[in-house]
């Protein structure tokens, strides 16, 4: 199969929507990461997404919608907090877990009685979902276990020949996957942290919001048990130190130690460490949590492809968006 490379023109978006409606697989941009889309109501198409990604069959997919009404058509009961949350955060990087009705095929939800719903905040995606006019099931557009792609070139390199088209919408502005919030528990539980933070949610809904790690008895998100986000080479995380001088010393020492051991070191770090002596450097700009989120996956892939032996990355404080960043970093590597 030849994979078409489509661009953000009205003609190409219409073409992508047509392919999706016909049951073909199309990778498309969102504000978080690229998704590998299939018509969520077409079981055969959804089954092929699992095959192409090598995704375990028990890991359900997020269904992307264009309107709140389209989301409600898939739900059995509408949770009390649904309206408040969607008013505030949709379109945006927040996925809501709710009970689904018979319209949602089992293959999408891996047989669970819940479904993950999200309305992406990206003009091209919104136009695509509008024209497709069906809900679109889409996991991140990577082979299972690889970092999620944040640009179309990466998707094309990884999936060409196996899907009908890649719709190029440039670099994803957020860079890590959406926050996944379970609304089927007594109080909402974050199954996967993202840039919509616990604080953001609690400000809006006047209820406690839990992290799955500290919520007894809540079901785990099936996806969180799999190895994720990992480049081929080892990733070593230098733990965050609130004292900048101590952090600087620790990071430089880590780079020096790996270099002395004869390894080619890839350093993924804020710009201020450009001169830290690594073989290859990939920038995390100013090192704010949102910079980390935006540049993390692309940086891991770039350094991996440079042929380094080890990647070093400084940790950041695990609060707010930093909590989501550290969640992904700790899945890609380990603390040294």
Binding residues for ligand TXA (CB under 6 A): 30, 32-33, 35, 59-62, 93, 95, 97, 109, 112, 114-116, 118, 120, 138-140, 177-178, 180, 191-192, 221-224
Minimum distance of Mg ion from residue 139's CB (angstroms): 5
Binding segment for Mg ion among 46-54, 95-103, 130-138, 139-147 (CB under 5 A)?
A: 139-147
The candidate with the shortest Cα–Cα distance to 327, out of 228, 202, 236, 201, is 228
Minimum distance of ligand TXA from residue 97's CB (angstroms): 5
The candidate with the shortest Cα–Cα distance to 259, out of 308, 330, 315, is 308
140 lines the binding site for Mg ion (CB under 5 A): yes
Which one, 112 or 329, has the nearer CB to ligand TXA? 112
Q: Are 132 and 17 within 8 A, CB to CB? A: yes
In angstroms, the CA 42 to CA 108 distance is 9
Q: Are 5 and 166 within 8 A, CB to CB? A: yes
Binding segment for Mg ion among 135-143, 252-260, 315-323, 326-334 (CB under 5 A)?
A: 135-143
235 CB neighbour count, 10 Å cutoff: 23
Minimum distance of ligand TXA from residue 203's CB (angstroms): 21
Which one, 212 or 269, has the nearer CB to ligand TXA? 212
Q: Is 294 helix (H, G, I), strand (E, B) or coil?
A: helix
86 lines the binding site for Mg ion (CB under 5 A): no
Minimum distance of ligand TXA from residue 29's CB (angstroms): 9
Binding segment for Mg ion among 12-20, 34-42, 128-136, 137-145 (CB under 5 A)?
A: 137-145
Which one, 97 or 308, has the nearer CB to ligand TXA? 97
In angstroms, the CA 143 to CA 40 distance is 19
Which one, 38 or 251, has the nearer CB to ligand TXA? 38
In sequence order, which residues have a C-beta less than 8 Å from that of residue 158 and are 6 or more positions away? 141, 142, 143, 146, 149
Which one, 56 or 239, has the nearer CB to Mg ion? 56
In angstroms, the CA 183 to CA 98 distance is 6
């Amino acid at each position: 199969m030849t994979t078409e490379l489509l661009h953000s023109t009205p003609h190409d978006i219409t073409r992508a929507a047509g392919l999706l409606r016909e049951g073909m697989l199309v990778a498309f941009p969102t504000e978080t990461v690229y998704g590998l889309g299939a018509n969520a109501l077409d079981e055969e198409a959804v089954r092929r997404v699992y095959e192409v990604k090598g995704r375990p069959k028990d890991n359900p997919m997020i269904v992307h919608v264009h309107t709140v009404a389209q989301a409600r058509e898939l739900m059995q009961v509408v949770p009390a907090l649904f309206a408040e949350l969607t008013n505030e955060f949709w379109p945006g990087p927040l996925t809501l877990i709710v009970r689904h009705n018979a319209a949602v095929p089992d293959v999408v939800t891996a047989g669970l009685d819940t479904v993950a719903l999200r309305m992406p905040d990206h003009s091209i995606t919104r136009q695509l979902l509008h024209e497709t006019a069906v809900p679109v099931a889409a996991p991140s557009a990577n082979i299972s276990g690889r970092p999620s792609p944040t640009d179309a070139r990466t998707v094309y390199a990884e999936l060409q020949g196996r899907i009908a088209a890649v719709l190029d919408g440039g670099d994803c502005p957020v860079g890590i996957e959406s926050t996944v919030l379970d609304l089927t528990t007594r109080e909402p539980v974050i199954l996967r942290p993202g840039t919509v933070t616990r604080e953001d949610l609690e400000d809006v809904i006047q209820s406690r919001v839990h992290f799955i790690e500290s919520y007894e008895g809540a079901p785990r998100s099936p996806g969180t048990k799999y190895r994720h986000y990992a480049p081929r080479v080892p990733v070593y995380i230098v733990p965050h130190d609130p004292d900048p001088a101590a952090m600087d010393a620790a990071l430089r020492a880590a780079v020096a130690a790996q270099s002395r051991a004869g390894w080619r070191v890839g350093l993924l770090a804020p710009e201020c460490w450009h001169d830290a002596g690594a073989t290859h450097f990939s920038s995390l700009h100013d090192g704010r949590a949102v910079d980390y989120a935006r540049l993390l996956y692309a940086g891991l892939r770039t350094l991996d492809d440079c042929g380094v032996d080890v990647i070093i990355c400084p940790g950041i404080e695990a609060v707010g968006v930093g909590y989501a960043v550290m969640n992904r970093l700790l899945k890609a590597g380990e603390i040294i």
